[in-house]
Structure 1
């Protein structure tokens, strides 16, 4: 968020002491982050505002003057005390229907608020609330590109099918057990599902996705990523995976994190010629023997490898052996090289 000049202490301008806005009458950005405000009394809201940031205050009700800010594109109410009733009026504020970014992260919401009037919405963030269902997402504009609903209590992936433009979906730290209803999200680039209860991978035919996180779930297999040929980053740590398979088609993969699983060997990544980071720590890999063949495709590209907390990390000449196999390594475990 851009900041401009400081507000004038004791005057009805820009905010409070230290509040930031632009100096002239056409000011477009107002940042009132971390002033512990209970309301906006005494705060001027210039009619030309394009961005209003009210992060980290004590607000529980919306100032009705916000409804008059017809140029507003970004509104952040992050880290306040809003409950469902406190944000309900926004569903009727037609004058700000051009809003493109709405942040309600870290409040006390129990349901997806009605934002159906925002026909140009691009970013919608309701993470860190108490939301138990995605019911209501069907009313969110199909223009949406980024949706964040992490750290809630959601149990089912639903009402996503109309979001054809979605590029980032964050549903980490919920109570999801099944991956589903993703088949229409054909432009999705990033899918974040860490810290759920998912047992199997089902990407519903998505092929263009570049980043996937399924860390801290209940996976026992890597199968399910074969068609994701555009994938560049894959995070699967803290699961119960015993075998590396289903990865040979992921020729664009740059980062692979399979740490803290039950792996006993390195397999199925010899074809990966772009791999830069390989995290294998905290597994049960007994020996370095054969690792040169297993990771042969990325022998030149690999710059970081983690193998600590495996039996093989106690091998004689552990570091020297890895540096000999992978000549461009810059990091082995926590050791950096010039």
Structure 2
């Protein structure tokens, strides 16, 4: 085990100090060896909230598999070339601007660089064993340089500056794809992702549900906070269990009768006013949870009893459990 030299306090990044203050103070952010006595045989090292300013003095870690450096003040990925046994590397919420110096980490399966200042996906040419790649909340404009990651199962690119879904064709191991909170205007270029189970495109600029016909293994689809007006083109997605269409401009419930596995339907904050269209949901025998609040029809005094008559399987309506 690695032994702490000092107690590291603070549970949130905002509570452990301002990075600009540290910059003004010069080299006041500690390095790894200043807060830990490293055990060379440790398999896992947790340096989260360490106020660390530089990655160094990690060479003694001969067997390290998991290295956690969340919520620090690191600006550069460096001095980790000897950590060839690493399986997981977390650098969430630092000040990193470039993906680099990972070429020797050939056993890496999970890399988390979310909440940094990265503008480009690069430097992963040798990390062929990656299964999970987290790059949310950066400044990335384009999906690229990931197609060679044939073992990748999860790709998280939410909260970036993407305008197009591209350059991920043929990634048949991908099961979870998160592209929420970008500027994407069209669902496209997903046809070859035959094993995709979860697709998130929340908070984009989508006007139409389209080009999902080949994603026959989808079980979760998140399309809230777009500008959709119609439920359509889900004919082949018969394995869907969760469908999120909240905060759109949909006026009618339709084209869901064939989704026999559907358990959760989120459609709050739309423009549905007519109860008649909800009658079609009586065919969805497994629906347990629905969110319909802030639709015009939800103002009906008999809102909850009517929903339960249509869908006897319900266990939750909006945020309230059924009794």
Distance 1:188 1:211, change over 3 A: same
Q: Could you tell me which residue of structure 1 aligns to residue 309 of structure 2?
A: 324
Aligned residue number for residue 200 of structure 1: 186
Matching of residues 289-300 of structure 1 within 5 Å: 289-293=276-280, 295-298=281-284, 300=285
Matched, 1:89 2:79: yes
Distance 1:35 1:177 in 2: 34
Residue 17 of structure 1 and its aligned partner are, at CA, apart by 5.9
Which of 217, 223, 226 aligns to 1:236? It is: 223
Structure 2: how far apart are the matches of 1:61 and 1:130? Answer: 16
Contact 2:229 2:248 in 1 (8 A): yes
Mapped partners of 1:296, 1:272: distance in 2: 11
- Is structure 2 residue 301 aligned with structure 1 residue 311? no
Shift in Å at residue 68 of structure 1?
2.0
The answer to whether the aligner puts 1:182 opposite 2:168 as a matched pair is yes
TM-score by length of 1: 0.85
Structure 1 stretches of 5 or more lacking a match?
5-12, 20-32
CA RMSD of aligned residues (A): 2.0
State the Cα distance separating 1:234 from its structure 2 match: 0.7
Cα distance in structure 1, aligned partners of 2:185 and 2:117: 24
Q: Which of 67, 75, 79 lines up with 2:67 in the alignment?
A: 75
- Ranges in structure 2 where 5+ consecutive residues have no aligned partner: 18-28
Q: Distance in 2 between matches of 1:222 and 1:327?
A: 28
1:112–1:147 CA distance, 2 compared to 1 (3 A): same
What is the alpha-carbon distance in structure 1 between the residues aligned to residue 235 and residue 148 of structure 2? 32
- Choose the corresponding residue for 1:113, options 80, 95, 100: 100
Matched, 1:16 2:5: yes
| 1:78 shift after superposition | 1.1
CA distance in 2, matches of 1:325, 1:308: 16
The 8 Å contact of residues 162 and 184 in structure 1, kept in 2 or not, is answered as: no
What secondary structure, in the 3-state scheme, does the structure 2 residue paired with 1:88 have?
coil
CA separation of 1:126/1:17 partners in 2, compared to 1, >3 Å: closer, same or farther?
A: closer
1:270 aligns with 2:257: yes
Asked if residue 285 in structure 1 is aligned to residue 285 in structure 2, the reply is no
Runs of 4+ off more than 4 Å: 33-37
SS of equivalent residue, structure 1 residue 289: helix
3-state SS of 1:290 partner: helix
- The alignment covers a number of residue pairs equal to 305
Task: Give the whole-Å Cα distance in 2 for the aligned partners of 1:42 and 1:111.
Answer: 25
Corresponding position: 1:251 with 2:238: yes
Distance 2:169 2:288 in 1: 35
2:142 alignment counterpart: 156
